[in-house]
Amino acid sequence: MRVLQLPYLRQPQLLINQIKDASGLIWFHEGGKQGQCEWFSAWPDRNFEYLGNHQTRVTDVHGQQQMVSGDFIELLKATVCQSTASAKPGFTSGLAGHFSYDFGLERLNVHSKFTATNTPLAVVGNYRWSCYTNHHEQKTTLYIQDDCAAEVQQRIISLADNAKQASLSNANASKPVVGEWQSQMSKTAYSKSFQAIQNYLVEGDIYQANLTRQWLSQSDDTDWQLYSALVAAMPAPFSVFHRCATLSLLSVSPERFIEIKNRKITTQPIKGTRPRGDTPEQDSTLRTELQNSEKDQAENLMIVDLLRNDIAKNATPGSVKVERLFEIQSFRNVHHLVSTITAELQEGSHPLDVLADAFPGGSITGAPKKRAMQIIDELETVRRGAYCGSAFYLSDNGDLDSNILIRTLTQQADKLSCHGGGGIVIDSKEDEEYEESAIKVSRILKALRPH
C-alpha cells in the first residue's frame, strides 16, 4: 500500500471539489466536528448494484458489466479482503455504500403494495483508496492499495498534487436554487393512518410503529452543490454523501446504526425528540422535558430491547450490554434521546452478518419489526426507497460503521425527496406526532428553500 502525507485539510470538501463530478464519489464525515475523523473516495474498482430477487449488477472500473446470481450479502463477504487487523486507522480501503429500506422489505419477506422500480435496492462499491483526515492529529493522508487500477492511481496522484492549493482555496459557493417543497401526505391522510396504528396497538398487533411522510421538490443544481449547502446549514455526526448511477444520497444523519471496531459491536438507537428552543431558557426546558418524559423513555426502551435481540444473533453469548440508557444528545435543530448498546462479535460471524441481520434499524420500523413494517407499507403513501436504510463502510481491517438514513435527501435527475416521521405508541398524540415529523425536516427544507 502506498501512503502519501498531504497538507492537513481542515475542510476536506475543498479537495473533494476538485473531483466533485467523479463516479461513485462517497464521503463519510462528522459534520466538520474537530477532533474527529473523516474520509472520501471515488471510482470504485467494482460497483455492486443489488436489483432484487438475488440478482446483482457488477460494474468494473472500466464500465464493463455482468450479472451475478446469489445472496447479496454473501457476494459482498466474498469480495472484501479478509484482513482482521491493521495498524492503519479508520477506512483505508474496502466496501462502502448503502442499503435502501426496500432492501429490508425483501430480506424480511414483506410484500409491498407499491409497484417495483428500477432503482437498485442496494449500491456498494469496492474502493481501493481513500483520503483520510484525522482532525485531532491534524493530518490528512492518502492511502492507495497496490491493486488500485492504474488510471485511478494517476487521478489520485494528480489530486494529491492539488492538495496544497485546495487547503488555501475559498470555500464559498453559490447557493442552490430549489423549488417549493410539497408534502405528499395531507393532514387528513396522516390522521387516518395514525388512527389505524392506534387500532393495531389496541389489538396487540404491535407495540410501536414508525409513521413517516414525504416532501418533494426539484432543482437543476448538482448533487454536490445541494449537499455543500446542506452540510453548511446542519452538520451532523453520521453524515454521508454517496453518488450512484441512478441516484445520489445527501445525508446529514444524527443516528449511528451499527459500529464494529476491534470486534466490539455498538448500536445507538434514537427515540424521543424535542425542538431546540429560541432562548437558552426555553432550550433547557425542552431538554429537561425530554429527559423526564416517561412516554419517550418507554418508546426508546422498546427499541433498545429489539436491538439487543438483533445484535445478539451474532454476539458472544452474555456479552450484550446496555451501556447508556436515555442519554440526551443535542443537535442544531433538535434534542434526541439516545441509548447505547454494546456486545462482542462472536467467532464465526462476519461484520456484514451483524449489519444485515439487524437491518433495517428498529428505531425506524417499530416493534415487533416485521409486523410494524407490514403496517408501515399498508399506511404510508409512497415507497421509502433509500430513506430509513443505512449507509455503511467495511474497511479491509475489519472495522465497520453505519448510519440510519434519516435527515436524508435523495436526488434522482432533477427530483428531490425528503422524509420525516416518528414512532407511534399507545399514548402518542396525533397533533404532536404530526408536528414532530415536520420539525425533523424543517431545517433541511429551510437550508434548501426556494431562493
Contact (Cβ atoms closer than 8 angstroms) between residue 223 and residue 248: yes
Contact (Cβ atoms closer than 8 angstroms) between residue 77 and residue 66: no
Q: What is the enclosing helix (H) or strand (E) of 31?
A: none
Burial classification of residue 78, based on how many CB atoms lie within 10 Å of its CB (0-12 exposed, 13-18 middle, 19 or more buried): exposed
271 catalytically annotated: yes
> The C-alpha cell of 158 is what?
494528480
**Amino acid, res. 1:** M
Q: CA-CA distance, 90 to 132, in Å (whole number)?
A: 8
Task: Classify residue 222 by its DSSP letter.
Answer: -
Contact (Cβ atoms closer than 8 angstroms) between residue 433 and residue 268: no
255 catalytically annotated: yes
Among 255, 299, 344, 433, the one annotated catalytic: 255
CA 57 vs CA 48, 123, 372: distances in Å: 6, 10, 31
Contact (Cβ atoms closer than 8 angstroms) between residue 163 and residue 15: yes
Q: Are strands 248-253 and 408-412 parallel, antiparallel or unpaired?
A: antiparallel
Contact (Cβ atoms closer than 8 angstroms) between residue 328 and residue 268: no
CA geometry: angle at 153 spanning 149 and 158, to 5°? 155
Residue that is written with C-alpha cell 412516554 in the block: 295
Q: CA-CA distance, 417 to 276, in Å (whole number)?
A: 24
Among 38, 106, 259, 271, the one annotated catalytic: 271
CA 430 vs CA 187, 198, 439: distances in Å: 10, 10, 14
Backbone angles phi, psi at 7, to 5 degrees: -55, 140
Which active-site residues does the annotation give? 255, 271
